[in-house]
Structure 1
Amino acid sequence: MDKLEIMKIALCGYMGCGKSTVSQLIASKKGLNFVETDLKIEKQENLSISEIFTQKGEIYFRKQENLILKNLLDNLDESVLSLGGGTPCYANNLQMLKETQDLKLVYLKLTAANLTNRLWSETHQRPLISHLSSKELLDEYVRKHLFERQYYYLQSDYIIDANDKSAEELSDEIINLFY
């Protein structure tokens, strides 16, 4: 597939890897639509992700995530999607992403140590890690979770080493892959 045929780029990776920021930069630089699946879910449910997890549970959230992803893949053109950290790991989401003809899936890969450092100040904002009371517990959680999710992330079309790179550098690197 040559560069001009790519109409959708989806960024995946563990929470805190920079998917939202990098996706917004790519969309802005290339005049594309920016879509964040978590924001779509929040708007649809009129609740924050934390509130959805608390009030309705993770299973409900994952079902909504799957429905929204399917709708986006079927109906969006020329877009940059920022996927939730777990999106490729549940239901048939990875299969849908891989089977979408005009989409390329990009994994922003960070070490567990870098993810822990980024997430430590944000634990209260993120439902999956809000209960962790020390950086050591967070690091253990991230390492375990990353190990489980790596299988899915590594099936991406492109794997970008995001360690020690700014969002600006990452957006330019991804743009250079496709445009």
Structure 2
Amino acid sequence: MKKIILAGYMASGKTTTGSLAALTLGLKHYDLDTLMERHTAKSIPQLFTEKGEVYFRKTEHELLKTILDTGDSFVLSLGGGTPCYANNHLFLRRDDVVSVYLRAGIDELVKRLQGNTAYRPQVAGQDGGTFREFVAKHLFDRSWYYYQAKHIINVDDKTPGAVVEQIIQLVS
């Protein structure tokens, strides 16, 4: 049984890499943000706006626990903040989990995020002058949780396919 969890900051490639890894390994792929949207029938920005972050994080934790407690094999792409709340980082250390931190540098994250902030409540409304500074501080605040993953893959300047190859080596 393989339970592969991908963690990392927003735009680090968790969903794209997770989908490709699952396809390559013949496993199911779950994206926690997509599951949240289906479960609540609301988009992530709507959830933050209408229900608040506390509701979002509580629901996210319950869904994560439910998925991990199944007997299934899968690849799971977490939301960027998932490991940082409700002791979710402890799930990254479970014996039945292969957890991977997709580590991207600040410049790479800023490049990937610019022009793509509307769907991301944590960075929506950040202006160009303070955007890089916000990402740097936010990443610093979350890094300890990401580093709880059992494995780290640097994704800067790598294609999703190259990252998937490294994941396959980890689970072989």
TM-score range, shorter chain: over 0.9
Q: Does 1:115 pair with 2:109?
A: yes
Given the alignment, which residue of 24, 30, 33 partners 2:25? Answer: 30
Tell me the SS of whatever aligns to 2:16: helix
8 A Cα contact 2:104 2:156, kept in partner: yes
Match of 2:133 in 1: 140
Match of 2:169 in 1: 176
Match of 2:56 in 1: 61
String of CA shifts for 1:93-122, please: whole Å, max 9, x gaps. 1113313x2211100001111101100110
- Give unpaired runs (5+ residues) of structure 2: none
String of CA shifts for 1:109-149, please: whole Å, max 9, x gaps. 01111101100110112111111121x32111110010011
Tell me the SS of whatever aligns to 1:106: strand
String of CA shifts for 1:8-49, please: whole Å, max 9, x gaps. 100000000000000000100111010011111100100000
Match of 1:124 in 2: 118
String of CA shifts for 1:36-92, please: whole Å, max 9, x gaps. 111111001000000000100111100001000000110151100000001111012
- Superposition TM-score, scaled by structure 1 size: 0.93
Aligned pairs, number? 172
How far apart, CA to CA, are the structure 1 residues paired with 2:91 and 2:3?
13
Root-mean-square deviation (CA, aligned residues, Å) is 1.0
- Give unpaired runs (5+ residues) of structure 1: 1-5
**Greater helix share, 1 or 2?**
1
Residue identity in the other structure for 2:148: Q
How far apart, CA to CA, are the structure 2 residues paired with 1:105 and 1:178?
10
How far apart, CA to CA, are the structure 2 residues paired with 1:178 and 1:60?
34
8 A Cα contact 2:4 2:97, kept in partner: yes
Q: Report matched runs for 1:1-179 at 5 Å.
A: 7-99=2-94, 101-134=95-128, 136-179=129-172
How far apart, CA to CA, are the structure 2 residues paired with 1:155 and 1:128?
22
Residue identity in the other structure for 1:116: V
How far apart, CA to CA, are the structure 2 residues paired with 1:87 and 1:123?
18
Instruction: Work out the percentage of aligned pairs sharing the same amino acid.
Output: 43
Stretches of 4+ moved more than 3 A in 1? none
Match of 1:3 in 2: none
